[in-house]
Amino acid sequence: MSEPVQTFSRSPSAPRLRLPAGACDSHVHVFGPATRFPFSPASKLVPADAGKETLFALHRHLGISRCVIVQSLVHGFDNAVVEDAISAGGGRYLGVALVPHDVADAELQRLQAAGFRGVRFNFMKHLGQGATPAQVLALTRRLAPLGLHLQVHFESSLIHELAPLLKKSAVPVVIDHMARVDAALGENHADFRALCRLMEDPLFHVKVSGVDRVSRQPPYADGMVLARRLLGEFSDRCFWGTDWPHPNHHHVPDDGALVNLLANIAPTTGALAALMVHNPQRFYRFDS
């Protein structure tokens, strides 16, 4: 058996940027420990454990007090690992679940009561084929009464065919990682322009996380340009996250350095507060 993949730095730098009180990391995962929360047999990634205690310690180190944990395909449709972290988070940690498109209403109600605020679907070739867009849209009609949103993760080229379909969602839609556009292609590329057009619809929100994914190498200057543009134009509907512990990545980024990038992405006190505090508080409904 091959060694588990190490997906995070065990010694991230201390960020120079001081984050505002109530700052939220709106996109992380938790992996294991596998002895308690077994990995899905269908997972193509077998990572080293990256459990809740490690995550909590990272957030203390970075100056982050709130978080949204996104269920990973590493654990499949068994959301117990995220539910456990939410329970241990003292109201400061919420979740986004992975569910099949035909999930029972009773399970959606149970997840909502446990602190989940939405469900996520992937449209990524490297992650395998899941539900169809039509099946996901049908599910949104059952999410609406529960106040659950839809989160989508897709390859940038798919935005052109997905955009008109997602506009039919019965609930707000959160787009992961700036739609995974290629930052090297710039602001005028068709995929990024399509993302900006989609964001003109108030139904949509976007995570300006993943500058380290859409850029090819540090210091991620081209990725920061896109993130700053999105925040500048859609300041009340952007969120940010570390994406810790960085699965399926071309390198392992330094989480302290990712925090420092916020000084460029959100260069004013007001922009930083909106991105890190006010937007996630309003959308995810943390306890005051």
pLDDT, tens digit, 9 for 90 and up, residues 23-47: 999 999 999 999 999 999 999 899 9
List average pLDDT for each run of 10 residues in the chain, which is 288 residues long.
Answer: 88 98 98 97 94 98 98 96 98 97 98 98 70 95 98 96 97 98 98 98 98 95 98 98 96 97 98 98 93
d(CA 2, CA 19): 39
pLDDT at 133: 93
pLDDT at 2: 67
Name the β-bridge partners of 151.
120, 174
pLDDT at 125: 64
pLDDT at 31: 98
pLDDT at 246: 97
Active site annotation includes 243:
yes
Amino acid, single-letter form, for residue 181: V
pLDDT at 1: 47
Question: Residue 128 class from Cβ within 10 Å (0-12 exposed, 13-18 middle, 19+ buried)?
Answer: exposed
Token digits of residue 104: 């029972």
d(CA 208, CA 183): 12
Between the alpha carbon of residue 238 and those of residues 2, 4, 105, 118, 280, the distances in Å are 39, 33, 29, 16, 8
Nearest alpha-carbon partner for 220 in 235, 210, 230, 206:
210
pLDDT at 130: 78
pLDDT at 6: 97
Tell me the torsion sign for CA atoms 5, 89, 238, 63.
negative
pLDDT at 160: 97
Peptide bond into 12 cis (omega under 30): no
Query: Span 24-284: which CATH code?
Result: 3.20.20.140
Token digits of residue 253: 């980024």
Among 25, 191, 212, 243, which one carries the catalytic annotation? Answer: 243
pLDDT, tens digit, 9 for 90 and up, residues 103-142: 999 999 999 999 999 999 998 765 555 799 999 999 999 9
Radius of gyration from C-alpha coordinates of the chain:
17
pLDDT at 65: 98
